A and B are shown apart, each in its own frame.
Chain A
Amino acid sequence: SQKIEQNSEALNIQEGKTATLTCNYTNYSPAYLQWYRQDPGRGPVFLLLIRENEKEKRKERLKVTFDTTLKQSLFHITASQPADSATYLCALVSGGYQKVTFGTGTKLQVIP
């Protein structure tokens, strides 16, 4: 069956360090992968999209990698700040934009 797995436990890091979140998937052939941020009681907010033929994407302090051989995406936040504290969701999108499937999310806590 199809699965998308993210670190199930919360990730606590010190301010200024780089946070690395993992998204692993099985039995998928996604056309692309997205990362979203979700704050408590709010809808997710789009952060980055990376396509199957791209290895890496950057946006300001954010970096995403996508390894279709390992079936894994890594999401990095450099120089992390307490304001980065939130739950981060990865989402896989199949070809033709038929369906977006979300992982369970990883809760990140940046400690001052």
Chain B
Amino acid sequence: GAVVSQHPSRVICKSGTSVKIECRSLDFQATTMFWYRQFPKKSLMLMATSNEGSKATYEQGVEKDKFLINHASLTLSTLTVTSAHPEDSSFYICSASMAGGGDEKLFFGSGTQLSVL
């Protein structure tokens, strides 16, 4: 089955630093990747949609200068949380849709727990 690898799984950083999270599709090409944020006992909130070779589309209320997304290849998308603050602490999850997959399902990474001190 299709596998999406996300790392790091957990990161603790100081306030003001930047953190990069990687999302890779290991055995398929992903034309589109999605980045979600999830608070405890809450649903996944879509932050942005990332298409290979083009600018990401951000959801309303998500600061594009704070959450930088790069989708440089069909197998890799990165999310960089710039100048992180404690309120950015959350569980971040990426997902990918398979190019030409036809069944429209999403494959999710295992998530990254970000804690900003």
Name A's B-contacting residues (CB within 8 A).
32, 34, 36, 41-46, 49, 89, 93, 97, 99-105
Contacts and interface: CB of A to CB of B under 8 A. Distances in A.
B104 A89 contact: no
A100 B43 CA distance: 12
Contacts of B6: 43
A105 B97 CA distance: 21
A82 to B, nearest CB: 21
Which 3 A/B pairs are nearest by Cβ-Cβ distance? A43-B108, A46-B105, A104-B43
Given A41-B113, A43-B93, A99-B49, A105 B106 contact: no
A97 B100 CA distance: 12
Interface of B: 4, 6, 34, 42-44, 46, 49, 91, 93-95, 97, 103-111, 113
Contacts of A100: 34, 46, 106
Contact of B106 (A32, A41, A46, A103): A46
Contact of B108 (A44, A93, A101): A44
15 contacts: A32-B104, A36-B108, A41-B91, A43-B93, A43-B95, A43-B108, A44-B106, A45-B108, A46-B108, A49-B105, A89-B43, A97-B104, A100-B46, A100-B106, A104-B42
